[in-house]
Chains A and B, each alone.
Chain A
Amino acid sequence: MGLPGTTDSSVYQGLKDVLQRYPVVTTVTYKPDSIIRESLRAQIDPNLIVPPTGPQSPTFDIEWRFVENEPYYRIHYADSNTGFNCGWHRDDDHPELGPVHFQYHDPLRDEQHYECARFKKTVPTEILWAALDRLFEHRIPTLTGEL
């Protein structure tokens, strides 16, 4: 299902700022383009992540919406080299897991998994920082390491 609510593209300014400062990120662009601005896409340097992947650049997509002041978001990483993808979603797809869940799909290992997740902070930029750290320092090395 898609995210509930309406996009507030003004929030993307701060999020873009965070992405541009993150070491493995090479470029950040708006999707579908910088006029319509529905979401943000960062391209990841495949040689800078652990373990390295490639040759294609993985993508990191961010969409943030609001129902009044209630945030809904999708922070999702996808590696087209391996098909591995994972992310933190705050949506209505898995109410049994609470408001936020982490999910991953690894076609090489034939694994699909969902679990509840939580962020200590509420401001979008801090949630994004925490997600980036968890992803590149813990999740990718652990989930895509040696088979």
Chain B
Amino acid sequence: MSTDSGHTHSSMTRGERVRAAARTLRTPRTASWVANETDASVKTAQKYLEQLVEDNVLRKIEQGDQTLYCVDQLMATYREVATLQREHDREELTTSLESMRTQITEWKTSYNVETPGELRASIADLDDPDEIETRREIASKWEHFADRIPIVRAALNEYDWAAERDALPV
């Protein structure tokens, strides 16, 4: 069994490790939990977590006598919308949106279901392991597309307005 050497970790400072780890916090965690995970001191973890709160990357939640941190999903989504607007033209976003929608329509028709949950539920009646695996994988992909579609649509909705705001001053 391999062990964690930690050797190359030195190429990333403790602060950078805390910052990278903090961006994956789906569940609210304390500074001491983050410190333990990143081999940083609680003081160092707290310093960087607080900076990320100020930068609107993390949200701070007071729960009883504990302070917890997690990713600010609303701000993360806004940033992602802006990134899509900046990195892709309208046609690319539209093509991608249409392709995800078409794919979902095809799955609905092929499996005669309306939601990925229904597709997962249909697995219970099957014996063929390959078909079970195919449906499980499609349900996961469908759920992922359902997450992505509103973000891409949001990027398209205000595309011109965003492009105008993003223009460099001449």
Interface residues of A, Cβ cutoff 8 Å to B: 1-11, 13-15, 17-18, 21-23, 33-38, 65-66, 69, 102, 115-126, 129-130, 132-134, 136-139
Q: Which of A116, A121, A133 contacts B5 (CB 8 A)?
A: A133
- Known contacts A6-B144, A11-B24, A14-B22; A134/B96 CB under 8 A: no
A119 is contacted by which of B4, B84, B92, B93 (Cβ under 8 Å)?
Answer: B4
Beta-carbon contact of B5 and A134 below 8 Å: yes
Chain A facing B: main interface SS: mixed
Q: Are A130 and B4 in contact (CB under 8 A)?
A: yes
B143's nearest neighbour on chain A, judged by CB, is A6
Chain A residues within an 8 Å CB radius of B145: 36
When the two chains form their complex, are residues A121 and B1 in contact, meaning their CB atoms are under 8 A apart?
no
Residue of B nearest to A21 (CB): B12
Number of B interface residues, CB 8 Å?
47
Q: How far is the CB of B125 from chain A (nearest CB, A)?
A: 19
- B84's nearest neighbour on chain A, judged by CB, is A35
The yes or no answer to B121 lying at the interface (CB within 8 A) is: no
Per the 8 Å Cβ criterion, residues 18-70 of B in contact with A are: 19-27, 34, 37-38
Residue contacts A-B, CB under 8 angstroms, 21 given: A2-B140, A5-B140, A10-B23, A13-B23, A13-B24, A14-B24, A17-B20, A18-B12, A21-B16, A34-B84, A35-B88, A35-B93, A116-B1, A117-B2, A119-B4, A125-B23, A126-B38, A129-B17, A133-B9, A134-B2, A137-B8
In Å, the complex CA distance between A120 and B76 comes to: 28
- A2 near B136: Cβ-Cβ < 8 Å: yes
B112 contacts chain A at the CB level, 8 A cutoff: no
In Å, the complex CA distance between A126 and B49 comes to 16
- Whether, in the assembled complex, B73 has its beta carbon less than 8 Å from a beta carbon of chain A, the answer is yes
Decide yes or no whether B158 CB sits under 8 A from chain A: no
Interface: B7 (CB within 8 A):
yes
A13 CA to B87 CA, complexed, in Å: 16
A126 to B145, alpha carbons, bound, how many Å? 28
Is the C-beta of B152 less than 8 angstroms from some C-beta in chain A? yes
A136 CA / B8 CA spacing, docked (Å): 10
A sample of 15 more A-B contacts (CB under 8 A), given A10-B26, A120-B4, is A14-B21, A14-B24, A15-B20, A17-B16, A17-B23, A18-B12, A18-B20, A34-B83, A35-B88, A35-B152, A116-B1, A117-B2, A123-B34, A125-B20, A129-B9
Q: Closest CB of chain A to B70's CB: distance in Å?
A: 11
Contact B24 A133 (CB under 8 A): no
Q: Are A137 and B7 in touch, CB under 8 angstroms? A: yes
CB distance from B124 to the nearest CB of A (A): 16
The chain B residue sitting closest to A122, CB to CB, is B37
Q: How far is the CB of A65 from chain B (nearest CB, A)?
A: 7
Interface residue from A3, A15, A23, A124 paired with B11 (Cβ < 8 Å)? A23
By the criterion CB–CB under 8 Å, are A10 and B73 in contact? yes
Bound complex: CA A9 to CA B141 (Å): 12
Q: Contact between B140 and A124 (Cβ–Cβ < 8 Å)?
A: no
Whether B23 pairs with A35 at a CB distance below 8 angstroms is no
